[in-house]
Amino acid sequence: MRVITWAIRIALFVVLLAFAARNTDPVTLRFYFDLAWQAPLVALLLAFFVAGAVLGLIAMSGSYLAQRREIARLQRMASAGRKLDATPASQPPAAEG
């Protein structure tokens, strides 16, 4: 299974490397107020991919931190419950019969 996984990774890397090698032509990214930036197409694609990934991580961080707080709270409650269960309980009253 490991060999198949590595073969897929290597094949994907080769395909992406070939894509990058074929798209080195300079392109111009035009902004407002006659501002422009000229760079290779693959560099712009990589920059926008990284920017999207970073923005996605920032957007996700709020719910991630809330989940971590909830997990910590539940773990504290669980450990407190185990401590209470570990204490010897008093004998129940004897049943009349």
Torsion of CA 22, 27, 31, 34, to 10 degrees: 180
Q: Does residue 3 surpass a pLDDT of 80?
A: yes
Q: What is the pTM assigned to this prediction?
A: 0.57
pLDDT of residue 23: 79
Longest pairwise C-alpha distance within the chain: 97
Q: Does residue 97 surpass a pLDDT of 70?
A: no
Residue ranges of domains in the chain = 13-84
- Beta strand extents in the chain (DSSP E only): 26-30, 36-40
What's the token pair of residue 27? 């392109």
Q: How confident is the model at residue 34 (pLDDT cuts 50, 70, 90)?
A: confident
How does pLDDT run across 38-88, given as a tens digit for each residue? 988 888 888 899 999 999 999 999 999 999 999 999 998 888 876 655 555
Comparison of pLDDT for 83 and 7, the residue scoring more = 7
